[in-house]
């Protein structure tokens, strides 16, 4: 770093210190302007056993012998999505890191976020995927943001796992941001929003997205992939929102 830049950074640190949004301490080295490195390091991954559909941690020993346990939210409903693995609960530092990555234009966080996910993938994580498929954004949204966080995570996973990224899903209908909708409206909001543009069917696919809320987006993606002959569709996500409880509404 040039001397001039060093001097500038020194004065910026002194007069405009960054304050960690989680611990409240000022910091110099962090992954973003809102989260210090120490809080990022303390992001807690979910422990096993976890829900086979959304990835949330389940109480230990409560599901002994159950092959694919489900949490209260996911219940025994049939799903197109076969399995999801989530790093952890979408709150605290995990949520702050995601906000910086997705909403504050900090695309350089892709590597730290993906590496953390990769480090905590369970030992029994599925293998044999033909493709990593990022959940697409609408072209207008992607132009506006300049990047698709799911695609960036997908490329990092691809390098680490040696599985090609195949962006075979297109968002063909604009949807309202899921976070702005009531839970029972979210599944409806995603219907018909995606299309598969692959020439050959992808039999075993791994979707990648940033957050699992109701799972409506991933479910719709899995549905169109299965209609295009996929046999098994799983997903990995950075975070899973805390459980809503068992108020699921059938759509």
Interface region with Zn ion, contact rule CB under 5 A, candidates 12-20, 114-122, 126-134, 190-198: 12-20
- Asked if residue 23 binds Zn ion (CB under 5 A), the reply is yes
- Asked if residue 96 binds Zn ion (CB under 5 A), the reply is no
Minimum CB distance to Zn ion smaller for 54 or for 113: 54
Q: List the one residue out of 54, 49, 50, 46 whose CA is nearest residue 77.
A: 54
Considering only 18, 31, 34, 39, the residue that binds Zn ion (CB under 5 A) is 39
- Asked if residue 43 binds Zn ion (CB under 5 A), the reply is no
Q: What number of helices (H) and strands (E) belong to the chain?
A: 8, 8
Minimum CB distance to Zn ion smaller for 74 or for 202: 74
Considering only 31, 34, 43, 54, the residue that binds Zn ion (CB under 5 A) is 54
Q: In the numeric block, which tokens belong to residue 180?
A: 């702005």
Instruction: Please report which residue ranges of the chain form alpha helices under DSSP H.
Output: 3-15, 37-41, 92-102, 110-119, 139-145, 149-161, 183-190, 216-227
Q: List the one residue out of 170, 181, 199, 172 whose CA is nearest residue 244.
A: 181
- The alpha carbon of 52 is separated from its chain's Cα centroid by a whole number of angstroms, namely 16
- 26: enclosing H helix or E strand: strand 26-27
- Asked if residue 51 binds Zn ion (CB under 5 A), the reply is yes
Residue 38 CB, nearest approach to Zn ion (Å): 6
For helices 110-119 and 92-102, angle between their N-to-C axes, nearest 10 degrees: 140
Considering only 71, 205, 207, 222, the residue that binds Zn ion (CB under 5 A) is 71
Q: How many CB atoms lie within 10 A of CB 167?
A: 17
Residue 42 CB, nearest approach to Zn ion (Å): 8
Considering only 18, 32, 46, 53, the residue that binds Zn ion (CB under 5 A) is 53
Considering only 31, 34, 43, 74, the residue that binds Zn ion (CB under 5 A) is 74
Q: What is the largest CA-CA distance in the chain?
A: 63
Minimum CB distance to Zn ion smaller for 32 or for 148: 32
Terminal C-alpha separation, the chain? 56
Minimum CB distance to Zn ion smaller for 27 or for 125: 27
Residue 192 CB, nearest approach to Zn ion (Å): 25
Binding residues for Zn ion, per CB under 5 A?
Answer: 20, 22-23, 36, 39, 51, 53-54, 71, 74
């Amino acid at each position: 770093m040039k001397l001039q830049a060093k001097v500038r950074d020194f004065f910026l640190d002194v007069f405009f210190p960054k304050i960690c949004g989680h611990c409240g301490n000022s910091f110099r080295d962090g992954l973003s302007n809102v989260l210090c490195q120490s809080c990022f390091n303390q992001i807690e991954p979910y422990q096993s056993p976890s829900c086979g559909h959304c990835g949330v941690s389940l109480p230990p020993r409560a599901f002994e012998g159950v092959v694919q346990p489900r949490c209260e939210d996911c219940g025994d409903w049939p799903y197109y999505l076969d399995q999801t693995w989530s790093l952890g609960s979408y709150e605290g530092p995990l949520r702050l890191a995601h906000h910086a990555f997705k909403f504050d234009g900090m695309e350089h966080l892709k590597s730290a976020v993906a590496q953390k996910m990769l480090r905590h993938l369970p030992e029994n994580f599925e293998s044999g995927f033909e493709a990593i498929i990022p959940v697409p954004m609408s072209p207008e949204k992607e132009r506006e943001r300049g990047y698709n966080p799911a695609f960036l995570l997908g490329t990092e996973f691809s390098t680490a796992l040696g599985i090609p990224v195949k962006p075979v899903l297109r968002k063909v209908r604009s949807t309202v941001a899921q976070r702005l909708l009531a839970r029972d409206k979210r599944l409806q909001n995603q219907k018909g929003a995606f299309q598969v543009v692959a020439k050959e069917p992808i039999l075993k696919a791994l979707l990648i997205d940033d957050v699992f809320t109701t799972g409506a987006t991933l479910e719709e993606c899995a549905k169109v992939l299965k209609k295009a002959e996929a046999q098994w569709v799983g997903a990995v996500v950075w975070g899973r929102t805390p459980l809503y409880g068992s108020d699921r509404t059938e759509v």
